[in-house]
A and B are shown apart, each in its own frame.
Chain A
Amino acid sequence: QVQLVESGGGVVQPGRSLSLSCEASGFRFSTYMHWVRQSPGKGLEWVAVTSYDGSDKYYADSVKGRFTISRDKSKDKLHLQLNSLRVEDTGIYYCARVSIATGGRFFDYWGQGILVTVSA
């Protein structure tokens, strides 16, 4: 079955860096993959996307220039490098798989989420 498992979260001081990973299994890792985050008690915020070969990447304005999305095709892993972290980057980070269906594209599978806390 499809599984997405995030790792790498933790507590970090403002201005420091953190690296998140998402290990995929149960499907061909040839789809666009995304990161979405959710601040404590708040709504969902789309963060970044990468194509299968990494040639197509987009970022939310709030993280552009600080976060980098990448993928290791040989290991079926998605990564998110978080640099220059801010308090407002605190939240649960989810990796999510996109399904392209007739009439739409949507997240059909999500990881369980990993908590990133940015605090002095």
Chain B
Amino acid sequence: DIQMTQSPSSLSASIGDRVTITCRASQYISSYLNWYQQKAGRPPKVLIYGASRLQSGVPSGFSGSGSGTDFTLTISSLQAEDFAVYYCQQTYSYPWTFGQGTKVEVK
């Protein structure tokens, strides 16, 4: 199985900060990497798919990069509604696996 490792597990940031979350796959996954945002009591919501493609309706402040094994999610300027947990997911091969999550908290 492909293991997905996110870092950091949590971070504290302020409104307007640039935030970067990384995700590393234990083996090659091409660009089959997605990023989800999850708020308390809600199902996850896709932000980025295919490593760098912004899902329709997602603010342009979110961006993704990387391929192969190393990936990054960037929030260019943190907004109040961005405080949440973020997960990466590989869909290169079954079983599809998620990272352990990164909680973005208010500083």
Contacts and interface: CB of A to CB of B under 8 A. Distances in A.
A91 interface: no
A112 B20 CA distance: 28
A55 to B, nearest CB: 15
Contact of B46 (A43, A59, A94, A107): A107
Contact of B31 (A44, A58, A94, A104): A104
A103 B44 CA distance: 20
A7 to B, nearest CB: 15
Given A43-B100, A111-B43, A112-B43, A106 B95 contact: no
Contacts of A104: 31-34, 49-51, 53, 91
B85 to A, nearest CB: 8
- Most A CB contacts (10 A, CB to CB) among B1, B49, B89 go to B49
B94 A44 contact: no
Contacts of B98: 43-46
Chain A contact residues (Cβ within 8 angstroms of B): what range?
A: 20 to 34
Interface of B: 1, 31-34, 36, 38, 43-44, 46, 49-51, 53, 55, 87, 89, 91, 94-101
16 contacts: A43-B99, A44-B44, A44-B89, A44-B98, A49-B94, A49-B96, A60-B95, A61-B95, A101-B53, A103-B31, A103-B51, A104-B53, A106-B49, A106-B50, A106-B91, A112-B43
Interface of A: 34, 43-46, 49, 58-61, 94, 96, 99, 101-108, 110-113
